Structure 1
Amino acid sequence: MTALRNRLAASAALVAAGLALAGCSTTAPAESSSTSGEAATAGYPVTVASCGRDFTYENEPSRVVLGNYRTLETLDALGVGKTVTGVVLGPDDKGRTPADLPAGVDVVSPDTIPAREPVIAATPDLFLSFNEAQLVGQGTLSYDDLAGIGANAYVMGGYCAQPSGNQGIETVYTDVTNLGAIFDVPEKAARLNDKLRGRVAAAKDSLNGSTATVAFLKVVGGKVYAIGGYPASAFIEALGLTNEFADLPTPFAELNTEQALAMSPDVVFVNYVGDEQAAIGDLAAALPDLTAVKEDRVYGANEDLAQGGGVGIIDALEQISASVKTATGN
């Protein structure tokens, strides 16, 4: 998500053991072998759509390359994290090194938008992307490259080149359900979604009915950008708050002087990766006369939490809720 936003900003100023049964009749081993084979592929084939494309899985992915490290949290929550063999580390993975990765997980590419060669060399059977920009294929990885090695793709969070426009917190539950189908763990997916829904409900209840107006902003090169789209919009809607930029024509756009003067949010969140206080300071320097700045109602929104989609979105939502509660005294 950050990679795509930064690109936009720049253009605006830019994932069988055989069992021998001795002493049985000639029919018993055959039945056991057949039963084992059926169990191994019980939920397959299954077709799961992603960004307008259908992908068919003949069995559980076993060599998954992640477009964003944080997606591993969702796979771990589903009990399938050990299928991950590689990750893409981008410039937003500040301070994270290969030594921080689990055993058996390699850094496939240090670039958020990976080149095709290292991903193909990693021989994934699934590339689990956090943004379809990773699959644009303009000298980098493409859907055709993955198809050429028999690999599928899935884009978390619905971050497609042509977004649906109706992304809400349900997007998280859809991802979990789809991953449950892909890895043949639908019951675990259903249980995880129940837990996530419960966490969202608790976060909303903690605000005691507040409908505070919230603005999500980002400072890039001294310029301020308004964020009206997912996941910011999902946080606000799920918590029952009011989105200052609900009518923004695009999910992410530079804030002009007129918009800056007209807005009066109760709480401001400034998106950041790395240094929260520096991001808050950059916003205060850019918009010193904003009431929320003067009254210290500006908080950081950690983009790293939400970048991998899935459970990270709920982690981020809970942090947003806690900050709104502090700012409004609920």
Structure 2
Amino acid sequence: MTTSRTRATAPAVVLLAGLALAGCSTTTPSETSSGPYDTAAYPVTVSSCGQDFAYDQAPSRVVLGNWRTLETLDALGVGESVTGVVLGPDDQGQAPADLPEGVTVVSPDVIPAREPVIEAAPDLFLSFNEAQLVGQGTLSYDDLAGIGANAYVMGAYCAEPSGNQSIETVYTDITNLGAIYDMPTQAEELNQELQDRVAAAKESLNGSTARVAFLKVVGGKVYAIGGYPASAFTEALGLTNEFSDLPTAFAELNTEQALAMDPDIVFVNYVGDEQAAIADLAAALPGLAAVTENRVYGADENLAQGSGVGIVNALEAIAADVETAGR
């Protein structure tokens, strides 16, 4: 397995809960369809965050930058290739109880040090955010290249954003994984299943164009989320994104923005305790009509952290709440 570098290592990125770093991801797909680990379609080149990575065979020792990405690999039928995981920003160093046998926690820190990852000897590091690969005392692209490992960033959460991502980002990721594993037919079938689920979720809303705002409360401060995956939820469901024109994907809400905001429905991101997050928002914005009229719902951050299938899971939960609010 070889790696082709086409740009400099990404600049440092501050990884904040709820911060979506948008980017781009393209692939040169294999032209033949074959079973798992068949080498007929190789070599294949898949791009991620502006870099090209060449694959001579399917990965067999994969380390996940967020263990929740395993759901997508399982859906493709290649979950057995995962040998290690990095815990997410909200896991508090605790591995999930249902982690498959033989899969170890490589790092309890979301930004992993280089040594444990190198020791795990992956042939692919499947990241959930390019901030994991900035390499300032931690893991870097160069470290991976030094052991012959490739990298791929799920959700196009790249250090150099290229605008809001749509639900197409999910399908692109799965197509790219299908190329990496030489399983294009399985990837196509999974994408069709997910597209059908998204279409059904949109249909359940009966044409609603409700104006929705995605917010997060941290230390009493309110942050607006306009970028991915919020942008994917609103676009795919036909809703109106209150913060579609936000200059960054995630930003603190100033007083002027708070006073001008009048969404039909508010989704407040939370981890663990949904009602506590809703209460925190009510305390921070007590005069917001959506708060006083009980039009605030929780959005579970953990659902979407691994990207891929998890984004569609989160979208269905959003649609269910919008449907409830419209009754």
TM-score, scaled to structure 1 = 0.88
Measured in 1, the distance between the counterparts of 2:318 and 2:97 equals 31
Distance 1:194 1:117, change over 3 A: same
Which of 186, 189, 207 is equivalent to 2:187?
189
Unaligned runs of 5+ in 1: 10-38
Percent pairwise identity: 80
Where does residue 5 of structure 2 map in the other structure?
none
Where does residue 324 of structure 2 map in the other structure?
326
Is contact 2:18–2:269 with CA below 8 Å preserved after alignment?
no
Measured in 2, the distance between the counterparts of 1:267 and 1:153 equals 38
Counterpart check, 1:119 vs 2:130:
no
SS in 2 for 1:43: coil
* Aligned-residue offset at 1:100: 3.2
Which of 229, 239, 242 is equivalent to 2:240?
242
Distance 1:43 1:133, change over 3 A: same
Report the residue type matching 1:64 in the other structure: V
Counterpart check, 1:84 vs 2:87:
no
* Aligned-residue offset at 1:6: 3.7
Distance 1:216 1:126, change over 3 A: same
Deviations for 1:285-325, whole angstroms, at most 9, x for unmatched residues? 10011000011110111111111100000000000000011
* Aligned-residue offset at 1:87: 0.2
Which of 301, 306, 312 is equivalent to 1:308?
306
Where does residue 214 of structure 1 map in the other structure?
212
Report the residue type matching 1:46 in the other structure: V
Measured in 2, the distance between the counterparts of 1:188 and 1:7 equals 31
Where does residue 196 of structure 2 map in the other structure?
198
Where does residue 155 of structure 1 map in the other structure?
153
SS in 2 for 1:111: coil
Deviations for 1:160-207, whole angstroms, at most 9, x for unmatched residues? 001221410000000000000001110000000000000000000000
SS in 1 for 2:67: coil
Measured in 2, the distance between the counterparts of 1:95 and 1:212 equals 38
* Aligned-residue offset at 1:66: 0.2
Report the residue type matching 2:129 in the other structure: N
Measured in 1, the distance between the counterparts of 2:18 and 2:116 equals 22
* Aligned-residue offset at 1:99: 4.5
Measured in 2, the distance between the counterparts of 1:84 and 1:186 equals 19
Larger RCO: 1 or 2 (CA < 8 Å, sep 6+): 2
Distance 1:273 1:62, change over 3 A: same
Unaligned runs of 5+ in 2: 1-13, 21-36
Measured in 2, the distance between the counterparts of 1:199 and 1:90 equals 26
Report the residue type matching 2:40 in the other structure: A
* Aligned-residue offset at 1:98: 6.0
Report the residue type matching 2:174 in the other structure: V
SS in 1 for 2:246: coil
Measured in 2, the distance between the counterparts of 1:261 and 1:158 equals 32
SS in 2 for 1:101: coil
The structure with more helix, counted as a fraction of residues: 1
Which of 3, 15, 32 is equivalent to 1:4?
15
Where does residue 261 of structure 1 map in the other structure?
259
Where does residue 10 of structure 2 map in the other structure?
none
Deviations for 1:46-66, whole angstroms, at most 9, x for unmatched residues? 000000000000000000000
Which of 260, 272, 296 is equivalent to 2:270?
272
Measured in 2, the distance between the counterparts of 1:300 and 1:199 equals 21
Where does residue 104 of structure 2 map in the other structure?
106
Is contact 1:218–1:270 with CA below 8 Å preserved after alignment?
yes
Counterpart check, 1:133 vs 2:144:
no
Distance 1:265 1:98, change over 3 A: closer
Distance 1:264 1:7, change over 3 A: closer
Is contact 2:164–2:231 with CA below 8 Å preserved after alignment?
no
Measured in 1, the distance between the counterparts of 2:97 and 2:265 equals 38
Measured in 1, the distance between the counterparts of 2:293 and 2:145 equals 54
User: Once superposed, what is the RMSD of the aligned Cα atoms?
Assistant: 1.6
Report the residue type matching 2:16 in the other structure: R
Report the residue type matching 2:67 in the other structure: Y
TM-score, scaled to structure 2 = 0.89
Report the residue type matching 1:247 in the other structure: D
Deviations for 1:12-62, whole angstroms, at most 9, x for unmatched residues? xxxxxxxxxxxxxxxxxxxxxxxxxxx831121100000000000000000
Is contact 1:108–1:118 with CA below 8 Å preserved after alignment?
yes
Is contact 2:84–2:105 with CA below 8 Å preserved after alignment?
yes
Distance 1:98 1:317, change over 3 A: closer
Is contact 1:88–1:111 with CA below 8 Å preserved after alignment?
yes
Measured in 1, the distance between the counterparts of 2:172 and 2:80 equals 22
Measured in 1, the distance between the counterparts of 2:326 and 2:18 equals 34
